[in-house]
Amino acid sequence: MTAAAEPLLSWLRRMRRTNVVQEILWIHHFDLDGAVAAGQLELAWRARSNLIVFGVELALHGRGVYPPGAADYVEEALVVLRCLAGADPALAAEAWDLLLRPAPADEEGLRREIAAARHFLEHRLAVPAALSRDEAIRAWADGLKLLRDVGRDLGIGGSDDWYLPEDGPAGEQIGWYDEVIRTIDRHRAAPA
């Protein structure tokens, strides 16, 4: 069996877009968590919708489908859901249903809708990075580490694979990836 090799630049562009989507997901998880905690239902609803749209895009990437970039959120939603409809019309219909539901008027209704979106992301799309802030950050860090490692090996990456942590002793150098993972682990270990 022979396999065609993908051009490296094409692979780098695809992996970079995947990494950007992973970053967008953790940003929206912060927005969602903060908005729910502050009782800002409209902001939480918007963050939930963004998690669905970018979760769909990440699921498409997992299927080898890379939608073209979009200028704004509405166009992004249309592009990724059209691509999903081409791959799985029933799944696209479920995503549209979630996105087109009216926003709930109370916090209890919002929590139900957030749970429905998370169920869709986990059980229908199978996108772990879209489930929680920690998983999204971990996926983003893993992807960025891969991109930086490949770039460094090709001689095109910078030398910014380390930084000085804010809470470490003066002069201590630590890999950025290790610091991100250590922060996630501390967050998970903290009492709720």
Entry pTM: 0.79
If you write DSSP's letter for every residue of 146-190 in order, what string do you get? HHHHHHHHHT-S-S-SEE--TTSPTT--EEHHHHHHHHHHHHHHS
**Whose structure tokens read 């509405």?**
74
Tens digit of pLDDT for each residue in 74-133?
999 999 999 999 999 999 999 999 999 999 999 999 999 999 999 999 999 999 877 788
How many angstroms separate the CA atoms of 26 and 136, rounded? 5
Burial 98-107 (b: 16+ CB within 10 A, else e): beeeeebeee
Per-domain residue ranges for the chain? 9-133
Taking the C-alpha atoms of residue 138 and residue 22, their distance in angstroms, rounded to an integer, is 9
Give the confidence band of 165 by pLDDT, cuts at 50, 70, 90. Answer: very low
Q: pLDDT tens across 166-181, in order? A: 455 544 545 666 777 7
Backbone angles phi, psi at 86, to 5 degrees: -70, -30
What is the CATH code of the structural domain delimited by 9-133?
1.20.120
